Amino acid sequence: MEPQFGPDLPVERPGWRETLTGATDLALVGIGVLVLSLPVLTAPAAVTAGSAAAAHWCRERDLPRTTHLLRIFRRGLRPGLLPAVVVAALFVVLVVDLRAVVAGAVPGGALLGVAELGCAAAALTVLGLAVVRAGARPGVPWADAVRWALRTARRHPRCAVAVFAVELGAGLIAVFVPVTAPLALGYALLGLHAVTGRSVLTDED
């Protein structure tokens, strides 16, 4: 029997209680990730745990147990040290270069600035996809997650664009309304999993 579609069929929508509960859950995820990321070197483990929580929420509309997330965080601490250093170093280099471009200290600054912003956007897209992979499969090495992200961005360019759009939207909200940063982070993690989709996430070599 074929499924029936049409404007006259009822559509289930969450009530205000479910919506409020979901927003609270995602805010808690964002707060947890922000707090656990404060030492910087713990950021990859914190983001992995937050991504795992978002992946679970996508499936179950509920958060997993806190003990489960803390276990993921603890197991991700050591493997996340090198990625944390690499990302932090790249961020510092990018900021320094952009400041030099804005100050006019680099010849051809405008063109170089556009190129650097493009590289930053590409890197953020790959990082977002890697975060999805790490949350969907806790324990996967970050190098493997990044390789999967690069392959996925090449095979599914629309997905890559959607991932960057989620990151950009959440970033702008957090910048212009700082008080919403935890909620924006939680929704960003959820949005990354939502736009990636199961078919893309299970795409292998």
Q: What is the pLDDT of residues 99-144, one digit of tens each?
A: 877 776 666 667 777 888 898 999 999 999 999 999 999 999 999 9
Q: What is the pLDDT of residue 157?
A: 92
Range from 1-5, 141-145, 174-178 carrying the lowest mean pLDDT: 1-5
Q: Rg (Cα) of the chain, in Å, rounded?
A: 19
Share of residues in the chain with pLDDT > 90 (%): 60
| pLDDT of amino acid 200 | 72
- Distances from the Cα of 204 to the Cαs of 25, 157, 182, in angstroms? 31, 16, 32
DSSP 10: -
Q: Say what the pTM is.
A: 0.84
Whether pLDDT at 82 is above 90: yes
Q: What is the DSSP secondary structure assignment for residue 177, as one 8-state letter?
A: S
Residue 189's H or E segment, with its range, is helix 181-201
Please say if the pLDDT value at position 8 is more than 50.
Answer: no
For residue 6, is pLDDT > 50? no
Does the pLDDT value for residue 4 go beyond 70? no
Asked if the model's pLDDT at residue 16 lies above 80, the reply is: no
With a CB cutoff of 8 Å and minimum separation 6, the contacts of 168 are none
Average pLDDT, the chain: 85
Identify the burial level of 113 via C-beta atoms within 10 angstroms of its C-beta, where 0-12 means exposed, 13-18 middle and 19 or more buried. middle
